[in-house]
A and B are shown apart, each in its own frame.
Chain A
Amino acid sequence: GQQVMQIPQYQHVQEGEDFTTYCNSSTTLSNIQWYKQRPGGHPVFLIQLVKSGEVKKQKRLTFQFGEAKKNSSLHITATQTTDVGTYFCASNAGGTSYGKLTFGQGTILTVHP
């Protein structure tokens, strides 16, 4: 089945540094969703990208979808302690299973004050 590989698994940064997590697939993706999970919490939807080359911004967060729709990235500028958590990418399966999401393994972000 469809797989999305997410790297890195862990990232430790000093507050104020930038952070990027990457999501890669060997097959063309119909879309990419990004979720954030705070420590001890549950995943919360951040954004969805659908179009080739699409870039969306939410304050200090920039989301990109690759031209070939096989990869995506989430970049955080000038991290803050509130950015701590696990960031997941996810993509819809194709065909009749479209509504099923396949999640990446997640990137655990730690921000040192």
Chain B
Amino acid sequence: NAGVTQTPKFRVLKTGQSMTLLCAQDMNHEYMYWYRQDPGMGLRLIHYSVGEGTTAKGEVPDGYNVSRLKKQNFLLGLESAAPSQTSVYFCASSYDWGTKNIQYFGAGTRLSVL
């Protein structure tokens, strides 16, 4: 009963390096989301996907790219990391787009960019 699994849990990058965060869900959910959490700013949506092969921009998409090649996986990429991308990243999934859009979150990835 894994739910939503994020890897890695922690990562330290140097400015300009690239990395990919992986999110995997085993609940057969159609909808998946990437958020970043910064102190005092709540959770801000980076990108989301309404199904396999589809992605869309959220509130703060700049500097990030995503892919959803398989229904169960949602990847978040940083092509050239910047210190402003130091944050905690959460992936979430849901089974409904309407009034039953309850989101299930992964444990998070804590990223530091030096």
Contact = CB atoms under 8 A, between A and B. Distances in A.
B45 A48 contact: no
Q: Chain A interface secondary structure, helix, strand, loop or mixed? A: loop
Interface stretch (B12-20, B63-71, B73-81, B94-102): B94-102
Interface in A72-113: 88, 90, 92, 98-101, 103-106
Contact of B105 (A31, A43, A98, A104): A43
B43 A103 contact: yes
Contacts of A50: 99
Nearest to B104: A45
B101 A42 contact: no
Q: Chain B interface secondary structure, helix, strand, loop or mixed? A: loop
B49 to A, nearest CB: 10
Contact of A48 (B44, B102, B107): B102
Contacts of B108: 42
Contacts, number: 58
The number of chain B residues touching the other chain, given as a range, is 20 to 34
Interface string B79-114: 000000000001010101111011111111000000
Interface of A: 1, 6, 9, 30-31, 33, 41-45, 48, 50, 88, 90, 92, 98-101, 103-106
B107 A41 contact: yes
Given A1-B59, A99-B50, A100-B48, A106 B101 contact: no
A48 to B, nearest CB: 7
Contact of B97 (A1, A30, A99): A99
B90 A43 contact: yes
Nearest to B90: A42
